[in-house]
Each structure stands twice: as structure tokens, then as C-alpha cells.
Amino acid sequence: MDWSNGNGLFNFQDEINEHATYSFGTPRLGDIKYQDLNKDGVIDDKDQAPIAKGSLPRYTFGIDLGFTWKSFEVSALFQGVGDYYRNFAYLYGNHTARGGFYSESMRNAWTAERWLNGETIDFPALATGATTNTQTSDYFYRNSSFLRLKNAQIAYKLPKRFCDSIGAGVAKIYLGGQNLFCFDKLPADMPVEGNNITAMPLYRMYRIGVDLSF
């Protein structure tokens, strides 16, 4: 991408007129400004280059914690990845393919009014048809590192006199859940796991129950 103007988008018609042409369409105001790497005046597959660190995380980790205090038992499993970056160019492709698919990341999309007013712009101009913004670039490259509380449970071991009264050796009541929290820097429409916003999301589940041993 060409970030020389500060936001990586075409903000004036003169920028489009003076820029290299695109082999895959004609850019509009508010479209992504790709960089002509080989300086031949045309943006095409010859201008493709590796983007930063790729799409594989450098670190994966898990932390399994647990302790017992008096009659309480607590356990928690954290998992996550670090130094992980993904490209979310598909988000724009989904938006245009459906002719009106809008989500959280598009709130600050480019408009002439926003640009002239100096407002925050972090998404290209919206459209209801095909545009030049679906090419893979570092514009949609985001830090996708995350830490997730995958599983957690707290249990209470009922007194012996209660167990004796029902003929049980051990009796516990518990409350737990799965996929409870996720700490990341992405908006809701850029999931840290899964390949597409339209895919089935991870469920957050809760469970409560009684564990009896006779």
C-alpha cells in the first residue's frame, strides 16, 4: 500500500489522475491506494510482495490453573496466540458481494465529508458493487493475538452430613462455562478465530449441575 498521504486512500481526484493505473479496475475517491512497487505505471500481480510476518502465529500457549480452598475447587484453562497477524480484506469483499452488508469496522468508512472535517477514517469508501478494494494488502492487516478463557469452573463440596443423609460418598455442586472471555484488539466483525464473519461463531456456554458419587 501507498501510505504517503497519511491514510492510504485516494482523497482527491488529482491523486487518482497522477497515480499508477490499476489492471483490475478503476479506483474511486476513498478507495485503497496501492503502491507501484516496480515503477512501471501499472498496479498488477507484478507488484505483489510479502506482507510483514505472514499469517501464522509466532507463539501459541495454554495455561491450566486450579486450586482447592476448604470446600471449594476452582479450575481455569487459558489459551491464546502471540505475535499473530491476519489480513481481513475479505471483510470488504463480503460487504460488496451482498450489496449492503455493514458491520462495526465500517462505521468510520471514508466519505468526502469525514475527510474534509478531519474525522477518523479507518475503512475505505463503501459501495454496493465491485470495487478495487478487495486486493490483498496491508490496509486490512491486523494484530490478531488473543488470550481466551477457554474453560472455567467453580465447585463446592457439600458437607459430609449432607452426603450421609442421601447415601452419597461425595456430593458437589458446580458452575462453569466455556469460551467465557477473549482479550484482543479486534472489533467484533474481525473474529480472532474462524475465517469469515459469516461463519458460525464460537459459542459461549454455561453449565450448572450436581456431581454425586455413591
Which whole number is the average pLDDT over 180-202?
Answer: 76
Mean pLDDT (the chain, rounded): 87
> If pLDDT is split at 50, 70 and 90, which confidence band does 33 have?
very high
- Is the separation of the CB atoms in 179 and 148 below 8 Å? yes
Alpha carbon distance, N-terminus to C-terminus of the chain: 67
Bridge partners (DSSP) of residue 173 are 156, 210
Nearest to 114 by CA among 190, 11, 206: 11
> Does position 65 have pLDDT exceeding 60, yes or no?
yes
Distance CA 66, CA 205 (A): 20
Q: Which domain holds residue 201?
A: 54-86+143-214
Helix, strand, or coil (residue 57): coil
Residue 87 vs residue 74, higher pLDDT: 74
CA dihedral 14, 15, 19, 22 (to 10 degrees): -100
Q: Is residue 71 part of a domain?
A: yes
pLDDT at position 36 is: 93
Give the sign of the dihedral formed by CA 190, CA 195, CA 196, CA 197: negative
- Is the separation of the CB atoms in 1 and 116 below 8 Å? no
Bridge partners (DSSP) of residue 146 are 81
Q: What is the DSSP string of 86-115?
A: EE-THHHHHHHHTTS---GGGTTB--HHHH
Q: What is the pTM of this model?
A: 0.75
Rounded to the nearest 5 degrees, what angle is found at the Cα of 81, between the Cα atoms of 178 and 122?
100
- Number of independent structural domains in the chain: 1
Distance CA 191, CA 197 (A): 7
Which whole number is the average pLDDT over 46-67?
Answer: 88
Q: Is residue 176 part of a domain?
A: yes
Maximum alpha-carbon separation in the chain: 86
Q: Is residue 59 part of a domain?
A: yes
Span 77-128, pLDDT tens digits: 999 999 988 888 877 766 666 556 777 788 899 999 999 999 999 899 988 8
> If pLDDT is split at 50, 70 and 90, which confidence band does 186 have?
confident
pLDDT at position 74 is: 96
Q: Is residue 169 part of a domain?
A: yes
Which whole number is the average pLDDT over 59-87?
Answer: 93
Q: Is residue 137 part of a domain?
A: no
Q: Is residue 161 part of a domain?
A: yes
